[in-house]
Amino acid sequence: MNKQSNRYVVTLAGGGGKRLWPLSRIDHPKQLLPFYGSMTLLEKTLERMQPCAPQERQYVVTTQTYAQNIQQLVGDKIGHTIIEPVARNTAPAITLSCLEIVKHDPDALIIFVPADHVIHDQEKFTQAIEAACAYAQEYDELVLLGIKPHRAATEYGYIEIKQTSERVNPVERFHEKPTADVAQWYFQNETMLWNSGIICARAAVLLREIETYAPELIQNIAAYESLPLCSIDYAVLEKTKHIAVVSAEFDWSDIGSLATFIAAYAETNKSGQSIDVLGARENRSIAQKTVIFAGVEHICLIETEDIIFVVDARQMHRSAEISEYLSARGFREYT
* Domains of the chain with CATH codes: 7-254 (3.90.550.10), 270-334 (no CATH)
Nearest to 11 by CA among 44, 36, 37: 44
Residue 282 has pLDDT above 90, yes or no: no
Average pLDDT, rounded, for the chain: 90
- Per the document, the length of the chain is 335
CA separation, residue 59 to residues 51, 54, 124, 214, 266 (Å): 14, 10, 23, 24, 30
Strands 192-202 and 109-114, how do they pair? antiparallel
Residue range 79-112, pLDDT digits in tens: 999 999 999 999 999 999 999 999 999 999 999 9
Residue range 242-274, pLDDT digits in tens: 999 999 988 898 887 788 788 777 766 666 678
Please check whether residue 54 is in contact with residue 4, taking contact to mean a CB–CB distance below 8 angstroms. yes
Residue 2 has pLDDT above 70, yes or no: no
Residue 304 has pLDDT above 80, yes or no: yes
CA separation, residue 307 to residues 24, 270, 296 (Å): 12, 21, 21
- Runs of H (alpha helix) within the chain: 41-49, 64-74, 90-102, 122-139, 180-187, 203-213, 216-219, 232, 258-268, 319-328
What does the CA dihedral 275, 280, 281, 282 come to, rounded to 10 degrees? -80
Q: What count of Cα atoms within 13 Å lies in the side-chain half-sphere of residue 294?
A: 3
pTM of this structure? 0.89
Mapped onto helix, strand or coil, the DSSP state of residue 108 is coil
Residue range 59-69, pLDDT digits in tens: 999 999 899 99
